[in-house]
Every structure is written in C-alpha cells, then in structure tokens.
Amino acid sequence: MMTDIFSSFDPYMFNSLFPTNSLFLMFNTMFILMIQSSFWLMNSRPVSLKSPIKTTMFTQLSRTTSSSLKGLSSYLSSIFILIIAVNLMGLIPYTFSTSSHLIFTLTLGLPIWLSLILSSFTHSPKKSIAHFLPDGAPDWLNPFLVLIETTSVLVRPLTLSFRLAANMSAGHIVLSLMGIYCASAWFTNINATIMLILTSLGYILFEVAICLIQAYIFCLLLSLYSDDHAH
C-alpha cells in the first residue's frame, strides 16, 4: 500500500510484496541474459533490438575524444543500454525505481569522471593543468578563472547524477499524482476520470521518451567530458 507519493522511492516499501527487491533483480538478470550474443549464425531478437541503440551511441561517441580512449566507447554504450533498461523498468507499477536515487547515478557517473581525470593527469600532467586556464585571459584574472574552472570540473559528477535522478523522480511523482486523482474521481465524476486516464496514458508515453532521452544525455555528457583529456 502506498502511503504517499514518495513511497515509490523507498525500497523498504516493497519488502512485503517483493522481498529484497527480487522483482527488479529478476528483470535485470533476465535482461542481461537476453541481450548477450547468441551462438547461432543469426542474431536473436534481443540482440537485433540492442544493435540500433548501440550504433546510435557509438556514432555520437565517434565525434568526441572518447573514440581514441580504448574501451571507453564500449563502456559508455553498455551504460547507455543499462540506464534505458533501468528507467523503463522503473515505470512498472509497484517496482522500485532505482534510477531515481543518487546512489545509482553516482555509482555510474563518479567512477567514469574520476577515471578520466586520473588518466589525463597520468598521461600528461602539464596539459591537464593547462585545461584549467583559458587562453588569452589577462594575468590579473587568471587565479579567478582557475578557481572557477576547478569548481566546475569538481561538480560535474554531482550535476550529472542529480540531473538523471531529478528527472526520473519528477516523472514518477507526476504519475503517482495522476493515479491518486484518478482513483479519487472514480466514484465522483466519471468524465473527469476518463480525462485523467487519457492524460495518464499520454504522459506515460512522454515518460518513456524521457527515459530514453535522459539515458542519452547522461552518456553524451560523459563523452563530452572526455574532450578535456590530455591528448
């Protein structure tokens, strides 16, 4: 039973129905097994469904410096598919929305951001430090520009993680509100109920698009962060 609109973001609310979030783990395990490559000559349907998504992300990554960093393109493409799957599974009723929590988004964004920083400083410390100071700036403004650029680089994983979690949380809250109002109007006004149901269906389609777009933006920003890597 949902006590309020924020109950869907509490993992302990689902223990009575699905102990230890077994439903989410089951769907996640089944999805991972389904998208694995087949031993047959022809690709299976899940693999054929995954190929256009993977190609889209690889095309975007080829426009950035991440294409020259070994393994990063494959890693970001895998994260892209994972976030899409997790976001869509969060739309299932009575399912724990993992992508709405910072513990999930930070786990994905923070290690990649930190690995890019460490890799850049390991490869060329001088060029990495030079990124913190724009060219052509006056000498008296250099300390402030370095401070501002350093702050902007340090807050990147937080803004990246907050963006995904906030957008997913807002969508689930709106769907919860529509469901509450629709259930309340069921016994009072049938016309309002029909309008709310149609509005909810339209918003669900909009939320599916948001799930895809937010996954793309998350991986796109990570790929753009690789442009600051020392060449």
Q: Quick: pLDDT tens for 67-89.
A: 677 777 778 888 888 888 888 88
In the 3-class helix/strand/coil scheme, how is 52-91 assigned residue by residue? HHHHHHHHHHCCCHHHHCCCHHHHHHHHHHHHHHHHHHCC
Average pLDDT, integer, range 220-231 = 80
What pTM, to 2 d.p., does this model score?
A: 0.75
CA distances to 6, 67, 77, 82 from 53, in Å: 32, 17, 8, 11
**Per-residue confidence band for 176, with pLDDT thresholds at 50, 70 and 90:** confident
**What span, in angstroms and rounded, lies between the C-alpha atoms of 185 and 43?**
48
Q: What tens digit of pLDDT does each residue of 178-216 get?
A: 877 777 777 777 887 888 888 888 888 888 999 889 988
DSSP 3-state of 144:
helix
pLDDT over 80 at 39, yes or no: no
Give the helix/strand (H/E) hosting 157: helix 156-185
**What span, in angstroms and rounded, lies between the C-alpha atoms of 28 and 86?**
8
Average pLDDT, integer, range 92-109 = 82
Average pLDDT of the chain to the nearest whole number: 76
Show me where the domains of the chain are located.
7-228
47-71 b/e (C-beta count within 10 Å ≥ 16 → b): beebeebbeebeebbeebbbeebee
- How much is the pLDDT for 125? 80
**What span, in angstroms and rounded, lies between the C-alpha atoms of 46 and 37?**
9
